[in-house]
Each structure stands twice: as C-alpha cells, then as structure tokens.
Structure 1
Amino acid sequence: MVTETDIALADGRTLHVYDTGPGGREDGAELAVLWHHGTPNIGTPPEPLFAAAAERGIRWVGYDRPGYGGSAPRPGRDVASAAGDAAAVADALGIGRFAVMGHSGGGPHALACAALLPDRVLAVVSGAGLAPFGAEGLDWFAGMGPSGAAELGAAVRGRAALEEALASGDFDPELFTPGDHAALAGTWGWLGDVAGKGLEGGPGGMVDDDLAYVAPWGFDPAGVAAPVLVLHGGADRIVPAAHGVWLSRRCPDAELWLRPGEGHISVLGSATDALDWLAARAARRG
C-alpha cells in the first residue's frame, strides 16, 4: 500500500510524496530506496517491483519532481536540485540514510543525490539514464531515435523552441524496440499509466526536465563516492547505450550491466536483480 502526502519546503514549495511505509522487520534489515521517476512521469514508486521489494525488506519512497503531479514548479531547476528535495523528503519521513534508484530521466537525478548527499546515500542504480550534455568523448545524440533527438535538440535552443516542438510533435512508437512494446503490454504497462498522469497538468514538468538535461547539471558524476550500478539496454533508442558506458567509466565505483538486445523499457527485466545488487551494496555501507 502506498500512502501519499504533501510536504512543505523552506522555500515555500510543496512536494507530493509517496511511501510504502516501514515494514516492521524484526531483524532491522529494512532499506529505504528513494525512486526517481522518468520523463514524463509522476513519482509513485514502481509497482511492478513491490513484491520483490517486500521480499527483500525494501521500503519504497518517491516524490513528484517539481512541476509534475502534486509538486509545485521550480522554475530554472537543474538536475542537482533533486538532492535538496530528496533530503527534505527523507527528513520529513524520518529516514536517515537511504539508497536511490532512477530509470531514464530519473537516472541523472539519482546520481545527483549520491554526489551531493554523500553521507546519506548508500548506493545507486541508474537505469537507462542520460550522461551529461557535452560529456567529453561522447557523441551525445548518436543513436537516439529521430523524434527524441529532435526534442532534446529543441531543448538546447531554449524553452520556447522546446515548447513548440512538444506541441507539434507526436509520439513515435519506433523509439521502442519490439521487446519494449512487449514489456509495456505486460507488467511494465504501469509506466504508461504514470506517464499519462505526468502530463495531466500540462507539459511544464517535462519542459523543465528536458531543459535541465541539456544544461550544466550542477555536479560531476566523478564526484559520486557511493557504489553505482549502471543498467542499460544495448538496443536502447531513447537513451543510447553509449551514455551508460560513459557514466560507468566516469563514476569512481561503478559497475555496468549492459544488456544486449534490450531496449529502454525491456531492460527493466533486470530490475529485480538490480534490487539485489542495491541491497547488498547498501548493507556493506549501512
């Protein structure tokens, strides 16, 4: 069961928060994992992983990034700003140290928390996540589907160009591999639901996300001291695998799980194994 609440921040904003709640494990082995959602989504934790998480003593926490769902906008936010919001969520729920997991656009935000909250973040999973725009040695747009590259290319030109591109563009199903479509037709159809909810209030959150991805992030992945698992599909057409390879080489303590033939969504077939990795690494540092 997921409970939802709003928390007030010191700057006057409100964040909408999700929590599966303490599991009450007698052995004290419970691990809080803060979920960072993709673009465009809301922050409710990943329902397809609830059963696996419960078996592993994992408590899910999430929140709508500013401009999505029930969270107030934060104009001009960068990726690094997620760290302060995540800390506020953890404080409000009485959570000290925690792990982070993000998929797609959530990957950079999860890494931000690890880089900027080194005393609190135990371990990181970044699934199908972007590398920083302009990353040295990376052809950032290479391998992206045409519509995705056009969207982020418009973001490089600024808010007005991006808003125009989003208003005139249609979703391109070719961004997804056959495996992605199969995953979306099955358990991970959940992502389609949260994507729809992420756009119910308009494209503002998506615009702010895209602008943040192509602007300076506010931190360097090389500053992430916590262990990082980079999970990426070799056939990903939304965020090409080269982004994951770059991140795995940049983060000091990173492990790359490159899944040949998997796409942006189908790579989540390895998410339960990633939870095992996360729990094991967090336990070593907890």
Structure 2
Amino acid sequence: MTSLDLANGRSLEYVVAGPEDGTPLVLHHGTPSAALVFGPWRESAAKHGLRMVMYSRPGYAGSSPRPGRAVADAAGDVAALLDALGAERFVTVGWSGGGPHALACAKLLPDRCGAAALIGGVAPYAADGLDFMSGMGVENVEEFGAALKGKAALTSYLDTQSAALAHVQAGDMAAAFGDLVSDVDRAQLTGEFADYLAESFRTALQSGTAGWRDDDLAFVTDWGFRLDDGQVPVAVWQGGQDRMVPYTHGEWLAEHVAGAEPHLLPDEGHLSLAVGAVEEIIADLVRLSR
C-alpha cells in the first residue's frame, strides 16, 4: 500500500498490481470498501496486459476525508494518481458504489479514459422515471432513507451498522448482508471471495465511517456532470437478481448514459457478476477501448 500526497494537502492511499508497462485499469471499489485487490481480478487484468490500480476513496482506510465531496471529484483524484504513476491513458471499472465514480472518470477525463465498465452501478437518485429504492433490500432502503435526511441522521445510522462490519469475518458475510443478497448472491459468499469482502469491510472502516457517509451523500445529491454527454464507451453490467442495486438502475443507465452498451443479465446478482463474469467484463473493456 502506498500513499500519494495531493496538492490540496490530502493523502490518497492506493495499490498497484500487474505488469509495469500495462495500461492502468482503475478499479473503483464499492460502498463501503477500500483499495484491496481481489486475486481473480488482478489475474484477469494481467492476462489482458492491464495494470490494476485501486485507491481508497476519501475517508476510507488511509485516505484523508473530503467532507462534501461530489461524485465528480473522483476524476480529479484519479488524474492526480495517474500523473504520479506516469500514465496518460487508462480504462476503468466501477463496481456497485464505485460505478458512479468510474462514470465520472469517463465523462470528465475523455482524453485519457479509453472505456468504462459499470458492474451493478448505482443510478442517480433524482433520475427521471426511476424509483430509486424499489427492489432494494431492507438495509439499503434504511441506509438511503437516512442519507436523504442529511449528514447527522446518516452518521448515526452508519455508526450503528459499522459496529459489526468493522470486525466481520468471512463466515459472517451472509448474515451481515441480510436482505441484500438473493439466493444467487448468497451462494458466492464462500472461500476466497468471502475472505476478500470481509477484509475489505474491516479495512474500509478502520478509520471510521466518513468515507461511507460521504459516498452515500454524494449518491443522493447532484453528481456534478452530465450523463448524456461524451463519447467514451461505457459497458453497463447489471443482474436481475441484484437486491443491492436493483435491475432497474442498470436499465436506466443503459438508456440514459451516452455511449452505453447494455449487458443486462436477468439470472445474475450483485456479487455473482463480480465473481463469475470477471474475464468477460475485462475482455469486453479491452475491446471497447480499441
């Protein structure tokens, strides 16, 4: 793990894995999570000549908080990180809460970003024609409900939730997700992937809930960029059995994001896509970037 000092005085924790001469694949983690690389993702990226780059968003793990940040602010942090790595061009993937941040990079760094992929990515709260919380598990309905009430209500809610997640172990993951996992996703919560998720939660919350809080507040306010502008290709991957980010979010994004290519898979879930479709997603990302 390495720390980058930014011009505004913040620090950004990041990790790089894969071929040194590879095009960076900037992977935006979910909410809550941190800059931990899942082995199969690293291996698939390397197979396609890509260098995995992950950073902990502000407020997570070792990255300085940035209260009031917008989704759009991710583009500036990614640009600074790429500059520090001596890289110009990149591709990007955003899983779950990372989806909007990957989309920000595609829209705001069009001269550098070759392509983006969203995996179970969140749509904007104020999206016309979308019932944002319809189909979500109970825990996410409660969480976003708290976010809509403001910073104080959300902080209180997340502090309560983090008490267990800050120490969660792999065997506890199914119970920790509760109503957020469908049967297809519950089946993924074993072995290496369960270990990875548990470690990512523990790492993300080691410095408190500021990153989680600021993610949620950013999701339900203006993202800071237009979705219907730009020419960077964006693959939208969404499962029909997703109770964290419902299928309708993927449908909406596929219809409203300029340059979007839909991959709407009725039998997949939020976790199953991240585990079972790794190779397909990265191969398609490379194709789009060409």
User: TM-score if structure 2 supplies the norm length?
Assistant: 0.91
SS in 1 for 2:270: coil
Q: Is the 8 A contact 2:19 2:46 kept in 1?
A: no
**In 2: Cα distance, 1:168 partner to 1:73 partner:** 20
Determine helix, strand or coil for the equivalent of 1:216.
coil
Match of 1:258 in 2: 264
Q: CA deviation at 1:172?
A: 4.4
Q: Give runs of ≥4 in structure 1 deviating > 4 Å.
A: 169-172
Instruction: Report the Cα offset of residue 168 of structure 1.
Output: 3.8
- CA distance in 2: counterparts of 1:23 and 1:10, whole angstroms: 25
Query: Structure 2 residue aligned with 1:217, among 215, 219, 223?
Result: 223
SS of the counterpart of 2:102?
A: helix
Residues in 2 aligned to 1:168 and 1:120: alpha-carbon distance in whole angstroms = 40
- 1:225-267 per-residue CA deviation (whole Å, 9 max, x = no partner) reads 2111111110100110100111111112111111212221012
Aligned residues: percent identity?
45
**Would the aligned equivalents of 1:48 and 1:187 in 2 still touch at CA under 8 Å?**
no
CA distance in 1, matches of 2:230, 2:209: 31
Map of 1:185 onto structure 2: 190
Following the alignment from structure 1 to structure 2, what is the Cα–Cα distance between the partners of residues 74 and 132?
A: 20
> SS of 1:265's equivalent?
helix
Counterpart in the other structure of 2:159 = 167
Which runs of 5 or more residues in structure 1 are unaligned? Answer: 25-29
Cα separation, 2, equivalents of 1:126 and 1:251 = 11
**How far has the Cα of 1:5 moved from its partner?**
1.4
Distance 1:50 1:84 in 2: 24
TM-score (norm 1): 0.92
Q: Partners of 1:277 and 1:174 in 2: how far apart? A: 31
Amino acid at match of 1:273: E
- Output one character per residue of 1:69-111: Cα deviation in whole Å (capped at 9) or x when no partner: 1110111001000000000000000010100101000000000
- State the partner residue of 1:10: 7
Partner of 2:172: none
* Equivalent residue, structure 2, for 1:70: 62
Q: Distance in 2 between matches of 1:46 and 1:172?
A: 19
Q: Deviations over 1:44-76 (max 9, x none)?
A: 333221222221111001111000111101110
Match of 2:242 among 225, 236, 239: 236
Report the CA distance between 1:178 and its aligned residue.
Answer: 2.0
Distance 1:80 1:40 in 2: 18
Gaps of 5+ in 2: 165-175
Q: Secondary structure at the match of 2:159?
A: helix
TM-superposed CA distance for 1:182, in Å, is: 1.9
**Aligned equivalents of 1:246, 1:155: Cα separation in 2:** 22
Aligned ranges 1:127-206 → 2 under 5 Å: 127-169=119-161, 171-189=176-194, 190-206=196-212
Deviates more, 1:190-199 or 1:98-107: 190-199
- How far did residue 188 of structure 1 move? 2.2
CA distance in 2, matches of 1:262, 1:247: 17
User: Paired residues, what number?
Assistant: 275
The answer as to 2:249 corresponding to 1:279 is: no
Summarize deviations over 1:194-213 as a string: whole Å, max 9, x none.
Answer: 12211121111101111111
**In 2, Cα distance between the equivalents of 1:183 and 1:67?**
28
Q: 2:17 matched to which residue of 1?
A: 20
Single out whichever of 187-196 and 64-73 deviates more from structure 2. Answer: 187-196
| Whole-angstrom distance in 2 between the partners of 1:104 and 1:44 | 15
Indicate conservation of the 8 Å contact 2:18/2:46, yes or no: no
1:31–1:279 Cα contact (<8 Å) kept: no
> Is the 2:184–2:241 contact (alpha carbons within 8 Å) kept by the matching residues of 1?
no
1:263 corresponds to which letter in structure 2? G
Determine the structure 2 residue equivalent to 1:27.
none
